[in-house]
Amino acid sequence: METTTPFEFKQYVSVLKAAGQRAGNLRELREVIAVVSDDSLFHHTYQYFLKDHVLEYTNDFAYWAGESLEERVLAEQLSNIDPYIFNHIDELRRALLSVIDTYLEGFPEPRQALSGEEFYFNETVSFIFPAGIRVKNLAEFLIAMRYIDPSAIYYHFYEARVRLGVDDLSAWVETSLGRKQLAERIRSIDPFMHSVEGIREHIVEAVEDKVRRDMEVL
């Protein structure tokens, strides 16, 4: 018997909620980022990883700078901000403002976004519900990780990091299964560098590796 505390997977869906503010140019974007709710900043940065198709940007501000303002340098600089290195959302807010301020000092005034292409600030209302999957050992965990809905991976790997400082998955592997090394390997997967499906692949690879080694008798 490997564990006494099973892991209950939960799933996540969200409904967008308008934050009631918008920006038509970079200065307006800066003004709103300075005051908009933490929830809105969270949505436009951390939750970007929920998107099905992450292209060359890593947050909505970078996407807007690149696609609507066509400011490539700014888009790259904003994309390079890793939200997971901050302990509080206000630090992320300061980092975003710092990049925009420096850009505004050093480059010609960016143009106004075309009508209809303004930046609309949103938040999300999150709904969390049981995925109906409970695992008790590493082999079951491996199967679940292969097939679980991507939103469950987002919830346990990304959002838990913000709620608890550490992802739920490695925490369970360590505390309930006593697999410290595996937990560390899962924790070393950089959330900023992968889509949800990329995270799935890396976790499956790490767990599969461990299960295979456990099975080998010679």
Partner 1 sequence: MLLDHYSGIAPTGDLLLLRRLGELLQGKTFLHVNSTRSGGGVAETLQRMLPLIRDLGINARWEVIEGDMFFFDTTKKMHNALQGNREYISEEMWGHHFGVNRINAGKINLEADAVLIHDPQPVPLVEFRRGGCWFWRCHIDVSNPVREVSDRIMRYSKKYDAAIFSVSKFAQALGIDELIIPPSIDPLSDKNRKLTDTEISEALERLGVPADRPMILQVSRFDRFKDPIGVIQAYRMVKKYNNCILVLAGSPATDDPEGAAVLGEVTAYAADDPDIHILLLPPFSDKYINALQRAATVILQKSLKEGFGLTVSEAMWKGKPVIGGATGGIPLQIVHGVTGFLVHSVEGAAFRTRQFLNNPDMTKRMGEKGREYIRKNFLITRQVRDYLSIWYRGENGGKGVVEL
Residue 57 CA to residue 182 CA, distance in Å, equals 30
Least spacing, CB of residue 51 vs partner 1, in Å: 9
Nearer to partner 1, 129 or 192 (CB): 129
116 binds partner 1 (CB under 8 A): yes
Provide CB contacts within 8 A for 78, sequence distance 6+: 57, 59, 61, 62, 65, 96, 99, 100
- Specify the DSSP element, H or E, that contains 203: helix 196-215
Least spacing, CB of residue 44 vs partner 1, in Å: 11
Stretch that binds partner 1, among 86-94, 105-113, 125-133, 194-202 (CB under 8 A): 125-133
Least spacing, CB of residue 18 vs partner 1, in Å: 4
CA distances (Å), origin 185, targets 87, 150, 217? 21, 20, 23
Least spacing, CB of residue 210 vs partner 1, in Å: 27
Residues in region 12-51 near partner 1 by CB under 8 A = 13, 15-18, 20, 22, 39
Nearer to partner 1, 6 or 24 (CB): 24
Contact 75, 40 (CB under 8 A): no
Nearer to partner 1, 71 or 123 (CB): 123
Contact 139, 62 (CB under 8 A): no
Sole residue written with tokens 């690879």: 205
- What tokens appear for 210 in the block? 């461990």
Least spacing, CB of residue 179 vs partner 1, in Å: 28
- The correct pick among 28, 31, 76, 118 for binding partner 1 (CB under 8 A) is 118
Sole residue written with tokens 């006593």: 178
- Nearest partner of 168 among 154, 180, 149, judged by Cα: 154
Sole residue written with tokens 């299960």: 211
Nearer to partner 1, 39 or 201 (CB): 39
Applying CB under 8 A, the residues found at the interface with partner 1 are 11, 13, 15-18, 20, 22, 39, 52-53, 55, 115-116, 118, 120, 122-132, 149, 151
